[in-house]
């Protein structure tokens, strides 16, 4: 068994999330690997997350994983421009019997939504959308994250493009620019978790 397959097996994906994954496949929406989901749930638990932001709802797989790790009274705000994917995500949340008050799905762009979010109001923020916009979001992410909270980006290791010195496509350059910006900040601890397509996490220390 390969290491990724073993990590996914250990994740022990709940039936409701497996069902959401099937719905995602039906509409052609990529979904995070089970190992990525269980890691996100563990991160949410580690910060006792009551308020989480997700940029890129997809079909609700990551949404459900995050809710699994959050406090029972926690509220997740998920932003996506694709209305069809969010429709499928709402179906997944309903099938999982998640109370409507616990998940706020906003159909719109993160560039419009992030400026309206409260300063220091969120424990964990996951970005799983177009990498080209990540650097533009960074100042807003820092502003809305509470002290001790976690920023996470999914997809850094997709097809090993970032580690390929010859790769110069726009998404790869955007990932490198984000990494450089985070490394340039003294008050941020960063780490790359090699699960699924890769998780980049950052913890501001001030």
Residue 191 pLDDT class (50, 70, 90 cuts): very high
Name the CA dihedral angle for 100, 37, 145, 200, rounded to a multiple of 10 degrees.
-160
5-9: average pLDDT: 92
Give Dmax (Cα) for the chain: 47
Residue 126 confidence (pLDDT) above 90: yes
Secondary structure of residue 163 in the 3-state scheme: coil
Residue 66 confidence (pLDDT) above 90: yes
Alpha carbon separation from 102 to 8, 50, 180 (Å, rounded): 26, 10, 35
Which pLDDT does position 37 carry in this prediction?
Answer: 98
CA–CA separation, 175 and 41 (whole Å): 23
Q: Check: CB of residue 79 under 8 Å from CB of residue 113.
A: yes
**Residue 87 CB burial class (10 angstroms; 0-12, 13-18, ≥19):** middle
Which pLDDT does position 206 carry in this prediction?
Answer: 80
Q: Check: CB of residue 133 under 8 Å from CB of residue 160.
A: no
Q: Which of 16, 99, 104 is closest to 54 using CA atoms?
A: 104
Q: Which of 81, 41, 82 is closest to 61 using CA atoms?
A: 41
Residue listed under structure tokens 């269980």: 38
Alpha carbon separation from 146 to 24, 82, 105, 109, 133 (Å, rounded): 31, 28, 21, 22, 22
Per CATH, the homologous superfamily of domain 3-204 is Vaccinia Virus protein VP39 (3.40.50.150)
Can you give the residue ranges of every domain in the chain? 3-204
Residue 70 pLDDT class (50, 70, 90 cuts): very high
Q: Check: CB of residue 23 under 8 Å from CB of residue 85.
A: no
Q: In what order do the strands lie in the sheet with 75-80?
A: 103-107, 75-80, 51-55, 122-127, 145-154, 199-204, 188-193
Which pLDDT does position 4 carry in this prediction?
Answer: 87
CB within 8 Å of 28: residues ≥ 6 apart: none
pLDDT digits (tens, 9 = 90+) for 83-124: 999 999 999 999 999 999 999 999 999 999 999 999 999 999
CA 24 centroid distance within chain: 16
């Amino acid at each position: 068994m390969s290491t990724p397959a073993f990590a996914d097996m250990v994740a022990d994906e709940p039936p409701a999330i497996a069902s959401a994954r099937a719905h995602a496949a039906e509409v052609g929406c990529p979904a995070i690997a089970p190992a990525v989901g269980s890691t996100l749930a563990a991160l949410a638990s580690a910060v006792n997350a009551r308020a989480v932001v997700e940029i890129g709802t997809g079909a609700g797989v990551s949404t459900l994983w995050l809710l699994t790790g959050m406090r029972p009274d926690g509220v997740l705000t998920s932003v996506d421009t694709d209305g069809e994917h969010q429709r499928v995500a709402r179906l997944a949340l309903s099938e999982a019997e998640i109370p409507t008050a616990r998940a706020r799905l906003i159909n719109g762009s993160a560039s419009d939504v992030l400026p309206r979010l409260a300063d220091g109001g969120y424990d964990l923020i996951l970005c799983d959308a177009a990498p080209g916009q990540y650097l533009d979001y960074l100042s807003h992410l820092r502003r809305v994250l509470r002290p001790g909270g976690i920023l996470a980006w999914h997809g850094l290791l997709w097809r090993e493009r970032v580690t390929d010195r010859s790769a110069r496509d726009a998404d790869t350059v955007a990932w490198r620019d984000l990494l450089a910006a985070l490394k340039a900040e003294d008050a941020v601890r960063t780490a790359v978790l090699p699960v699924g397509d890769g998780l980049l996490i950052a913890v501001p220390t001030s």
